[in-house]
Amino acid sequence: MAIRRSAFSSLLAALSDIFLFFGQLTTLFLDGLWFVVRGKISVRAMLRQMGEVGVGSLFVAIVTVGFSGAVLALYTSVQLVRFGQAGLAGGVIGKSLALEIAPVITAIVVSARSGSAMAAELGSMAVTEQVDALKTMAVSPTQYLVVPRILATMIMMPIVVVIANLAGLYAASWTASLGGISSTLFWRSFQDYVTAGDQLQGIWKSIPFGILIALIGCRQGLTTQGGAQGVGRATTSAVVFGSMAIYVVDFAISLIIQDVTSLRR
């Protein structure tokens, strides 16, 4: 009986933490949206964060998406040549990169690098009472700390995704030649099967990804307690929660897009 009560208490505590997490995220988002609507934006802070998010994550995104595209092309081209469908290589790989690989992997990279940095920076400010000092001076931490990070990540994510997607495509076109598909055939297939709508879908996906990454990183940072250990936990949880949220939202967006596409048909 005691074991059952303990398990039930643990379940209630877990559910309470989940509801608290989503409640704080929603509150943070609505507060930030209110400041944006009123034009209360620190442009200087936003530009600085754009440099941190965009420039800081660009190289890692290019490497990860580039090699992902290369590996995908290596396996796909061999199988397509085997079944006599080499003319589909550019289309299959191009759609995969544009719709899923480039936006999702780039989001994971930005979450791991920039989301964790936001959590660590704001967590350090929280445990050293700098956030409380802002409140004492009648300065909103959401306006001063959160809004610039959300806007910067939301703006830079599509740019990084486009560049990473190009890196993946060029790496794939080179690797496909190792599987027996010429570069000319690869790009012709890409032009025939990959539409501007496919590219825009992947770019559009990256915007909610950017908002989520910044929201979760800032939330984990602002709620940090427990000194240096708390900062470490906040940094780790920002990456874990951010990565999980990216995959869940990616599935939801893909499902909506497929439903809308099927209705149009």
pLDDT, tens digit only, all 265 positions of the chain = 555 666 667 777 777 778 888 888 888 889 889 989 888 888 898 999 999 888 889 999 999 999 999 999 988 888 888 888 888 888 999 999 999 999 999 999 999 999 999 999 999 998 988 888 888 888 888 888 999 999 999 999 999 999 999 999 999 999 988 888 888 899 999 999 998 888 999 999 999 999 999 999 999 999 888 888 889 899 999 999 999 999 999 999 988 888 776 666 5
- Quick one: CA torsion of 109, 113, 114, 116, rounded to 10 degrees? 120
- Classify residue 3: in a domain, yes or no: no
The angle subtended at Cα 105 by Cα 57 and Cα 99, nearest 5°, is 125
- Alpha helices, DSSP H, located in 83-114: 89-96, 102-110
SS3 state at 69: helix
What's the sign of the alpha-carbon dihedral 68, 69, 74, 78? positive
User: What does the alpha-carbon distance between residue 189 and residue 92 come to, in Å, rounded to a whole number?
Assistant: 9
User: What does the alpha-carbon distance between residue 236 and residue 219 come to, in Å, rounded to a whole number?
Assistant: 13
- Classify residue 30: in a domain, yes or no: no
Residues spanned by the domain of 81: 41-264
Reported pTM: 0.89
Residue-level pLDDT at 172: 93
- The answer to whether the CB of 154 falls within 8 A of the CB of 56 is no
Residue-level pLDDT at 103: 95
| Residues in the chain, total | 265
Contacts for 92 with CB less than 8 Å, ≥ 6 apart: 76, 80, 193
- Classify residue 25: in a domain, yes or no: no
The angle subtended at Cα 153 by Cα 56 and Cα 107, nearest 5°, is 75
Q: How many structural domains does the chain have?
A: 1
- Classify residue 179: in a domain, yes or no: yes
- Classify residue 173: in a domain, yes or no: yes
- Classify residue 28: in a domain, yes or no: no
- The answer to whether the CB of 241 falls within 8 A of the CB of 223 is no
- Classify residue 51: in a domain, yes or no: yes
- Classify residue 7: in a domain, yes or no: no
